[in-house]
Amino acid sequence: MSERKVEIMYFYSDMHENEKKLTKITKKLGQERKDIHIRLINIDDPVNNELAELYGVDTVPLLVFLTPRGEVAAKKFLPLSAKKVVYQITDQINKGELPNPQVEELKTKILDALNSVTKRSDLTEIVAEQLMDDLTEASGKTELYELINSHISAINHSISDLEEFKRVLQRYYKNQGNFVV
């Protein structure tokens, strides 16, 4: 990795994206911005399993931005063609705005706490996975707090909706014995 370049690792699957097209996009971005270096990483190639595991890749496409010192500065679940976002994050890294140690520390604490929560249903697992993916992407303090607020709101609405479903089902289940907890 060059000392002055932001390294962008693009994790993709050849089931969904064509390597030739990605190579063209990579060349174009590299010509437009000399301060970035892009690596294409096909998660379907077993050679890349260790790298995908190292960066916690479970969903693609994923852009992982590394500072010139090799620190993970940002992760975004976006296609490589999202040029505006790629340039915006690169600029933030070059200005020293990313990574933000306070945000990274807070994200780590939240993710650790969420990982300790028991997930007793597939629905809970889906919500947890989305929340954790979204938290992984947050790079600024404002973005992180807006994300938390959004998820709290969505969870509250879901709880209300599920309580209503439960009441409807209970009406039709009368006198059939105990409910499963």
Note the pLDDT tens digit of each residue in 64-74.
999 999 999 99
Q: Could you give the number of structural domains in the chain?
A: 2
Confidence category of residue 177, pLDDT binned at 50, 70, 90? low
If asked whether residues 57 and 130 sit together in one domain, one would say: no
- Which of 94, 116, 140 delimits the end of a domain? 94
Position 180 in a domain = no
Q: Are residues 24 and 90 in the same domain?
A: yes
**What CATH number should be reported for the domain holding residue 12?**
3.40.30.10
| Rounded CA separation 34/4 (Å) | 9
Taking the complete model, does pTM exceed 0.75, yes or no?
yes
For residues 111-137, b (16+ Cβ closer than 10 Å) or e, as one string? eeeeeeeeeeeeeeeebeeebbebbbb
Between CA 169 and CA 176, with CA 171 as vertex, the angle to 5 degrees is 85
| Residues 129-173 pLDDT 10s | 999 999 999 998 999 999 999 999 999 999 999 999 999 998 888
* Domain region containing 129: 101-173
What pLDDT is stored for residue 3 in this prediction?
56
Distance of CA 24 to the CA centre of its chain: 25
Q: Are residues 75 and 131 in the same domain?
A: no
Q: Are residues 54 and 18 in the same domain?
A: yes
On average, the pLDDT of the chain sits at: 93
Same domain, 106 and 77: no
In a domain, 50, yes or no: yes
Residue 40 covered by a domain: yes
At residue 1 the predicted structure's pLDDT band, cuts being 50, 70 and 90, is: very low
The per-residue pLDDT for 174 is 74
The average pLDDT across 3-14 equals: 92
Residues 25 and 44 in one domain: yes
What pLDDT was estimated at residue 179? Answer: 60
- Is 116 part of a structural domain of the chain? yes
Query: In terms of domains, do 83 and 107 share one?
Result: no
- Is 178 a domain residue? no
- Look at residue 4 in the predicted model and tell me its pLDDT: 79
pLDDT tens-place string over residues 71-119 = 999 999 999 999 999 999 999 999 999 999 999 999 999 999 999 999 9
DSSP calls for 55-72: TT--SSSEEEEE-TTS-E
Q: Is residue 1 part of a domain?
A: no
Same domain, 151 and 169: yes
pLDDT of residue 58: 87
Domain boundary among 53, 74, 94: 94
